[in-house]
Amino acid sequence: MDDEGEKSIELMSQMEGLFNKLGKTVYNTDGTLKNTYDLLGELADVYPTLTAAEKAYVTETIAGKYQAQNAAAILSNWKTAVDATATALNSQGSAMKENSRYMDSIQGKLKQLSIA
């Protein structure tokens, strides 16, 4: 999509060229387009090695001129975002275990009885 939200074949071609120059591809092995998470993850791997001009070109190409700073922040802090996601997912499992223990306790059983 371009800055106005329209599909752009030219933009897609430009992104494909950009990824190819960086040794990456926008397509999966089955020919489908990779999802945004995978594309950003691949860019984040090479982003620290780019010059300032290359970084500006990459961010403007993938996000447009109005969102380039947001893209730069995402690519510069990708590991932090991935770590935060993993922590959140692990925390969810921890909270579920804790709730399960509570529900199996005498207090939990009494609460279930009072609700029913």
Report the pLDDT value the prediction gives residue 12, as an integer from 0 to 100.
75
CA distance 41 to 57: 17
Report the pLDDT value the prediction gives residue 107, as an integer from 0 to 100.
74
Interval 70-84 mean pLDDT: 91
Interval 3-14 mean pLDDT: 66
Q: Is the pTM of this model over 0.85?
A: no
Q: How many CB atoms lie within 10 A of CB 35?
A: 10
Interval 62-75 mean pLDDT: 91
| Segments in 49-116 forming alpha helices (H) | 52-63, 68-76, 78-104, 106-115
Whether the pLDDT of residue 17 is over 80: the answer is yes
CA distance 110 to 74: 47
Q: Is residue 2 within a helix (H) or strand (E), and if so which, with residue range?
A: none
3-state secondary structure of 50: coil
Percent of the chain with pLDDT over 70: 88
Report the pLDDT value the prediction gives residue 2, as an integer from 0 to 100.
47
Kindly give, in sequence order, each residue whose CB lies less than 8 Å from that of residue 91, ignoring residues fewer than 6 positions away: none
Kindly give, in sequence order, each residue whose CB lies less than 8 Å from that of residue 73, ignoring residues fewer than 6 positions away: none
Whether the pLDDT of residue 90 is over 60: the answer is yes
Whether the pLDDT of residue 10 is over 90: the answer is no
